[in-house]
């Protein structure tokens, strides 16, 4: 079995185990959006591009060149919610 399919099965199983089938599908859809080269794997570059996009958007919204620790934590929390690691 391909690593991406294993990761998908694990993500789906965890979400379903908590009785959240809708979250499981949303999680998988969001994770697969990170795979921009469609090779079935998420590279460090692909993952960091997503974080950088969110970081840049918040800096633009706030009109600053740096973010506070609280702002970065908000980004991390958002990623956790949207990529299935928050409960």
Q: Report residue 87's pLDDT band, with 50, 70 and 90 as the boundaries.
A: very low
Structure tokens at 39: 């090779």
Residues 6+ apart with CB under 8 A from 50: 34, 79
- List alpha helices for 35-68, DSSP H: 44-62
Q: Could you report the per-residue pLDDT of 2-56, keeping only the tens digit for each?
A: 666 666 666 666 665 655 566 666 777 777 888 889 898 888 998 899 899 999 9
**76 vs 32, more confident:** 76
């Amino acid at each position: 079995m391909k690593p991406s399919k294993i990761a998908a099965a694990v993500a789906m199983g965890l979400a379903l185990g908590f009785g959240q089938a809708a979250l499981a599908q949303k999680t998988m859809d969001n994770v697969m959006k990170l795979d921009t080269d469609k090779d079935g794997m998420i590279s460090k570059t692909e993952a960091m591009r997503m974080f950088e996009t969110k970081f840049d958007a918040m800096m633009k919204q706030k009109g600053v060149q740096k973010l506070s620790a609280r702002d970065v934590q908000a980004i991390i929390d958002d990623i956790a919610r949207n990529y299935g690691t928050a409960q």
